[in-house]
Structure formats: C-alpha cells, structure tokens
C-alpha cells in the first residue's frame, strides 16, 4: 500500500477543523496549524500527526496544504509571515487556498507562491460547518489541471462536489464572491420580509410556513429565518462574516465599475447591524436593523 498523503490544514476554525477531520477520516496523514492551542489539542486528540501555531517543524514533510483562514491577511501571514511555511515547503507542493478572498488577493497570493516555487489552487468552499465536518463541502476551484490532480486525495476527502471553474487563478474567488452576493442578499431579504410581517401583525411562524412551501423560498430563508422565528441568534455564521463577504462583493463591483444595487444595499444592512452591536450574533440578526417591531425573544417593552 502506498504511503498516505501528508496534508496540513491551516486555520482550524469551524470549516478548517471539519476539513482536517475529514482528511483524517479519509486516511490522510493530517497536520494542523492554528494559533489557538485548544484547536490544536482538539485535532491531536482526533489523530493528527502534528499541530502547531506555525508549521515549520513539519513543513518539509508535507505533500499538500489547505488554507481555511478567515481572510486573506491570515492566509498571507500563515504562508509568508514570521512563522510562514511557504519557504519551508518542498518545491511544487500544491497549496489549496479555500478562504473567501478577493480576486486581487487570490492572484497576488498565487504570484507569491509561484515565486516560492509552489502551485496554488484558487479553491473557495461552501456548505457550512456541518458539511465540512462530514467531508461534503462544495469546492469551486480554478487553477491548472495538474494542481487539481495533485490535490485529488484532499479533494476526495473534504468535498462532496468539486467544480472546475477554469484554469485561471481568480475565477474561483469570483464565483465564490458571486455566490456570497446571493447568500447575503437572501438573508437580508428574508429579514426584510419577516420584519414587514412583524410590523403588519402576521404571525412569523405562519409567514415562515407559507414562504418555505412556495416560490418565494430560498435556501437561506429556510435556514436562517427559522432562527428569527425561534428568537435564537446563537451564531452559526455571524453578521460580521457577511459584512466581510458583502464587502468583498462591493469591492468587486467597484473594481469593474459595475453597479450592484441589491448587494450594496444588503451590505449597508449588515454593516448597520454590526455598528449597532450585533456583529457577533447569528447573521439572521440583521433583522434587528428594523426598528418599530417586536420579534420573538425580544424583551417586552416597559
């Protein structure tokens, strides 16, 4: 039997931890890199070969790297920063960059990796923590065919579905950003609709029931407005994530001088929610930008 591929996951948040554990479940020799000891300990307990705040101790052993940091700055730091591993990887090691980042960042990181003799797959993911945990993420990726091929064991481990968008670095980021445009607008539209229902005196449970059985439904409405009906804003994905992602969408429009009337409106709604102090609540808490209504879970007015 061939030796198992050795893969490191950088960023052990809810998505990265799920991806790392999926690699373990698929029999890959798995390493983890995260500044938080607790995350490293959790992955070690699950069977990782090694973990650490940086990865220089084991960089030379790796056959592949997956980056699932929150943003481009963290991605750059893990690759090229003080404890960065890029300079310590074997030449040609494929790096799957799966954070949600701008097209410009994707291209710049690919160029810097190339300078270090490394190959990049521009490979954003979707599906949320639940799908990440069971190796069922959707990967929307762009890059040379041989990089896809080199990463095949990792893709098999973490993804239920892999889209090969194109060979052009940046196209993966673009597709993810356009996907987030829809996801963010749908959450904000769900909030706007439920806020109007509350104002009009329609029971939110009834409104939810009608919409989820009719043509006005969306994946996000069905998933997130359930939280509003239940008055439970435990963050599965936080308001501030969509401030970031709709910010990327807005910047993408700006960079092309392309009008995005709904996305920029939705961005303003999430940014308003964040500034009002709801940034760390579940993203469905964007409904709290609407005044003049009482929602499930609200304190009765004095």
Nearest distance from C-beta of residue 127 to a copy of itself, angstroms:
7
**β-bridge pairing 159-166 and 137-142:** parallel
Distance from C-alpha of 170 to C-alpha of 123, rounded to nearest angstrom: 9
Nearest distance from C-beta of residue 228 to a copy of itself, angstroms:
13
Nearest distance from C-beta of residue 166 to a copy of itself, angstroms:
8
Residues between 97 and 136 with contacts to a copy of itself, criterion CB under 8 A: 103, 126-128
Q: Is 221 in the site for a copy of itself (CB under 8 A)?
A: yes
Q: Is 258 in the site for a copy of itself (CB under 8 A)?
A: yes
Is 176 marked active-site? Answer: yes
Q: Print burial letters for 13-46: b (CB count within 10 Å at least 16), e (below 16).
A: bebbbbbbbbbbbbebbbbbbbeeeebbebbeee
Residues between 281 and 300 with contacts to a copy of itself, criterion CB under 8 A: 290, 292
Binding flags for a copy of itself, 148-187, as an x/- string (CB under 8 A): -------------x-x-xx----x--xx--xxxxxx-xx-
Q: Is 145 in the site for a copy of itself (CB under 8 A)?
A: no
Task: Tell me phi and psi for residue 10, to 5 degrees.
Answer: -100, 120
Nearest distance from C-beta of residue 6 to a copy of itself, angstroms:
30
Residues 6+ apart with CB under 8 A from 7: 23, 28, 29, 30, 31, 62, 63, 64, 65, 66, 153, 154
Q: Determine which helix (DSSP H) or strand (DSSP E) holds 77, and give its type and residue range.
A: helix 72-80
Given the complex with a copy of itself, which of 118 and 263 has the nearer CB atom?
263
Q: Which residue of the set 131, 176, 244, 288 is catalytic?
A: 176
Binds a copy of itself (CB under 8 A): choice among 259, 300, 301, 302: 259
Nearest distance from C-beta of residue 182 to a copy of itself, angstroms:
4
Between the alpha carbon of residue 63 and those of residues 28, 241, 283, 294, the distances in Å are: 10, 31, 37, 54
As beta bridge partners, residue 166 has: 142
Distance from C-alpha of 60 to C-alpha of 48, rounded to nearest angstrom: 16
Segment contacting a copy of itself by CB under 8 A, of 10-18, 20-28, 105-113, 197-205:
197-205
Residues 6+ apart with CB under 8 A from 196: none
Residues between 4 and 43 with contacts to a copy of itself, criterion CB under 8 A: none
Which residues lie near a copy of itself (CB under 8 A)?
A: 103, 126-128, 138, 140, 161, 163, 165-166, 171, 174-175, 178-183, 185-186, 188-190, 192-193, 195-197, 199-203, 206-207, 209-211, 213-221, 223, 252-253, 256, 258-263, 265-266, 268-269, 290, 292
Residues designated catalytic: 176
């Amino acid at each position: 039997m061939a030796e198992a591929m050795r893969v490191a996951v950088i960023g052990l948040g809810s998505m990265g931890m799920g991806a790392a554990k999926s690699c373990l479940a698929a029999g890959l020799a798995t390493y983890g890199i995260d500044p938080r000891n607790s995350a490293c300990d959790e992955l070690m307990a699950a069977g990782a070969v090694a973990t650490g705040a940086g990865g220089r101790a084991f960089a030379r052993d790796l056959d592949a790297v997956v980056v699932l940091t929150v943003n481009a700055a963290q991605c750059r730091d893990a690759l090229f920063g003080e404890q960065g591993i890029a300079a310590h990887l074997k030449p040609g090691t494929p790096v799957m960059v799966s954070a949600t980042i701008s097209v410009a960042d994707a291209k710049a990181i690919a160029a810097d990796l190339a300078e270090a003799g490394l190959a990049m797959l521009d490979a954003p993911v979707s599906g949320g923590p639940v799908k990440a945990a069971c190796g069922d993420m959707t990967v929307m990726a762009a890059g040379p065919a041989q990089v896809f091929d080199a990463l095949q064991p990792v893709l098999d481990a973490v993804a239920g579905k892999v889209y090969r968008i194109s060979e052009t670095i940046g196209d993966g980021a673009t597709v993810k950003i356009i996907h987030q445009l829809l996801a963010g607008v749908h959450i904000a539209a769900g909030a706007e609709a439920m806020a109007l229902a509350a104002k009009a005196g329609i029971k939110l449970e009834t409104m939810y029931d009608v919409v989820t059985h009719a043509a006005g439904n969306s994946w996000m409405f069905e998933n997130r407005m359930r939280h509003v009906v239940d008055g439970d804003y435990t963050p599965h994905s936080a308001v501030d994530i969509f401030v970031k992602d709709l910010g990327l969408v807005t910047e993408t429009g700006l960079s092309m001088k392309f009008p995005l009337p709904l996305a920029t409106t939705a961005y303003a709604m999430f940014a308003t929610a964040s500034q009002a102090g709801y940034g760390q609540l579940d993203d469905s808490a964007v409904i709290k930008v609407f005044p003049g209504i009482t929602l499930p879970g609200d304190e009765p007015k004095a």
